[in-house]
Chains A and B, each alone.
Chain A
Amino acid sequence: MNAAVITEQQTLVIRGRKVVGGVAEGEALVTRDRISGWGGIDPRTGTVIETRHELRGQSFAGKVLVFPGAKGSSGWSAMFHMTRLMNSAPAAFLFNEMTTKMALGAVVTHAPAMTDFERDPLECIETGDWVRVDADSGVVEITKKKQEGAA
C-alpha cells in the first residue's frame, strides 16, 4: 500500500481575457512551439505537419490547444477556418501572444479562446490534463491527469 496515494483529483483555476466567447472542455494538448497555419497543419485531420515541430504528427482535433501563439503565413486564419469545416478544429485555444493571425484565426474557428492569463497556461497545463474553458466568464479549470504509478 502506498500511503501517498492521492485520492482527490487535483484541480486548478486560472483566469484570463475572453478572445472568443463560449464554453468547451477537452483534453489539453500543450506545446511551447508557435504554430504555423498554412504549411504548418493539415486541416483534414487537424494534424501538425511542420518539420521539427514538437507536435509534428499529432492532432489537435477536439483538444484544448495550449500554445504560445501563431506564426507564419497570412493564410493562418484560412487554414483554421478549414479545420472547422472539416470537423478537425480544436475545442478551444489558450495562448499568450496576441497577433492579428491568432485573433482572426480564433474568431473564424468559432472555438472559445482566451489570452492575457494571470498565470502562464504553459506552466500549469500539461498534455493530457482535462481542461474546461469558460471564455465568457474568463475562467479555465484544469483537472490534472492522474500521475502514472501513483495508485
Chain B
Amino acid sequence: MHLSDEEKAMYDGRDGPAVQKAMDLLVRYGEALGAERLVETRNVCASITSTTPFQRDFALAKGGGMDAVFSEFSLDSQETVEIPKFKVFTSHLQLGFDPGQPERMGVSEEIVRFYEKSERHAAGLGAQIMNTCTPYQVGNIPTRGEHCAWMESSAVVYCNSVLGARTNTEGRESTGAAMLTGRIPYWGYHLDQNRHATHVVELDIEVESVQDWGLLGYYIGEHVQERVPVVHSRRGISRVPNLPRLKHFGAAASSSGGVEMYHIAGVTPEALTLEQALGGRAPAQVLRYGEAERRATYEKINTTGKDGEVQYVMLGCPHYTIEQIWEAAQLIEGRKVHPDCELWIFTPRAIKALADRNGYTKIIEDAGGIIMGDSCSAMSRAVPKGTKTVALDSAKQAHYLPAILGVQAWFGSTAECIDAACTGRWNGGYA
C-alpha cells in the first residue's frame, strides 16, 4: 500500500508508539482489503469505552490502566502504549447500557463505576460523549463528500445516503486507529464508482408515514442485501421524507440486509435524477414495490407477534428525534401506562435535555413512561422483568429483539405502540 511522507513518518514512530501502532493496524487492514492507499479523515464515530466484566478484568490484569484496554481493544496492540490526545473530531456511539439507569438495565454498580472511569479516559483524550447511534442529531453532521470513519450501520447508511458524506462500516479497531492518525483505508464507499446504484426499486404506491418508510427499507434490505438501491417513483416522490423517516428507512435496510448506501431519486444528494444515481450503468435488477410487497413485509416483521398482552413498549430505535418525542408526548398526554406494561423511550442525552425543558419529559413521566439515553434494549439486552411480548415502532428493533432475547415482537405505528403501552394489549393491525 502506498503511504505519503506524512503517513510514513507516523508509521516509523515520529509521533510515538500509539500512533505507530495505529498506522501499523491501518496498513494491515488496508492491505487485507486490497486498498491502494489511505485517505484523510477528520470525522470519526466509534465505540471506545468499556462496559463488560471481561474488559474490567483485562484492565485489572494489566495493572488497571485504561491505556491497556485502548491498546488491545481499539488498536489491536498487545503491547500497552500510552494513548495521546485524539488528532481528529471523534464522536462516541451508543453503549451496552444507560449508566444513569443501572437497576433497570440489570447492571451492577461496580460495572457502572468501571464504565465511568473509561468514559473519563475517553473524554480526556477528546471523545465527544454523545453516546448515541444518531450522532448526526447532536452536532456531527458531515458535509457532502467529507471522508469519515464511522461505525454503527444505521449511522453509516445515513452518512452515505442522506448526507452524501463517505464512509465504510468501520469497526472498533479501525476507528481507534483513525482517531490517532486522521487516516482510514481509501476503499469501498470512499470511491465514486462504488457509490452508484445497482438496483432500482420502482414505487407503485405512495410511501408516507415513518412506518411506511421502515417497511420499504426492510423490503429493500431483504432483496438487495449489501448492494446499492435507488428508490424511484414515476410520479415523483410527492412528500419528501424527513429525518425520522430516513433514519427508520436506512436502519431497516441495514438490518434485513447490509445496505450501507442508497439513493432516492429527486431527494438524496447524489441522485438528482435516476440516471445520476445509476451513474450511466444499467441496473442489475428492477424491483417493484406495491401493496402486495408492503403487506408481505409487514407480515414478515410481525412473524413473532402472537400474544395480545404486551408487557413492554420500546421507542427510540434509532434514537428518537425531538420531533418524535414531541409526538409521543402528545399521544400519551392525559393517559396512563397500564400497570402491567412499561414504556421506555431512548434518545441522546442532549435531546433529553431539550425534552426536559420543553416539558415533554414531565408529560411522559406523569403518564408512567421513562426517557433513557446511551443505549437501547437490543444493545443492553435489557427489558422490564417478565417481558414476553414487546411493541415497537422500529423495524430494526423488531428484527433484532426476538433473536437476541427470545421475546415476541409487534411492529406498528408510534400511535399503536403508545396505545399498547396504555392498554397493555396490542390492538394494531395492517393499515
Determine the chain B residues whose CB is within 8 A of the CB of A63 once the complex forms.
none
Q: Could you tell me how many residues of chain A have their Cβ less than 8 Å away from some Cβ of chain B? A: 29
Determine the chain A residues whose CB is within 8 A of the CB of B400 once the complex forms.
39
Q: How far apart are the CA atoms of A2 and B32 in the complex, in Å?
A: 48
Point out the residue from A19, A39, A77 that lies within 8 Å of B171, measured CB to CB.
A77
Q: How far apart are the CA atoms of A82 and B72 in the complex, in Å?
A: 10
Do A106 and B32 touch across chains, with their CB atoms under 8 A apart? yes
Whether A107 contacts B156 in the complex (CB less than 8 A), given A39-B400, A77-B173, A100-B33, comes out as no
Indicate if A78 sits at the interface (CB-CB under 8 A).
Answer: yes
Would you give the shortest CB distance from B175 to chain A, in whole angstroms? Answer: 9
Interface positions, chain A 95-126, Cβ under 8 Å from B, are 98-101, 103-108, 113
1/0 per residue, CB under 8 A from A, across B155-189: the answer is 01000000000001111111000000000010110
1/0 per residue, CB under 8 A from B, across A77-96: the answer is 11001100110000000000
Indicate if A51 sits at the interface (CB-CB under 8 A).
Answer: yes
1/0 per residue, CB under 8 A from A, across B224-262: the answer is 001000000000000000000000000000000010000
Determine the chain A residues whose CB is within 8 A of the CB of B173 once the complex forms.
77-78, 81, 104, 107-108
Would you give the shortest CB distance from A55 to chain B, in whole angstroms? Answer: 15
Closest to B155 in A: A74
Indicate if B403 sits at the interface (CB-CB under 8 A).
Answer: yes
Interface positions, chain B 1-55, Cβ under 8 Å from A, are 25, 28-29, 32-34, 47, 54
Would you give the shortest CB distance from A42 to chain B, in whole angstroms? Answer: 12
Indicate if A75 sits at the interface (CB-CB under 8 A).
Answer: yes
Interface positions, chain A 1-50, Cβ under 8 Å from B, are 17, 19-20, 39, 50
Point out the residue from A17, A39, A74 that lies within 8 Å of B170, measured CB to CB.
A74
The 3 closest A-B pairs by CB, nearest first: A77-B171, A103-B32, A74-B151
Known A75-B171, A107-B173, A108-B76; 19 more pairs at CB < 8 Å: A19-B32, A39-B403, A39-B404, A72-B153, A74-B169, A75-B172, A77-B171, A81-B73, A82-B54, A99-B226, A100-B168, A100-B169, A100-B170, A104-B29, A104-B32, A104-B171, A107-B28, A107-B29, A107-B32
Q: List 8 A-B contacts (CB under 8 A).
A: A39-B400, A71-B226, A73-B153, A74-B152, A85-B72, A99-B188, A101-B169, A107-B32
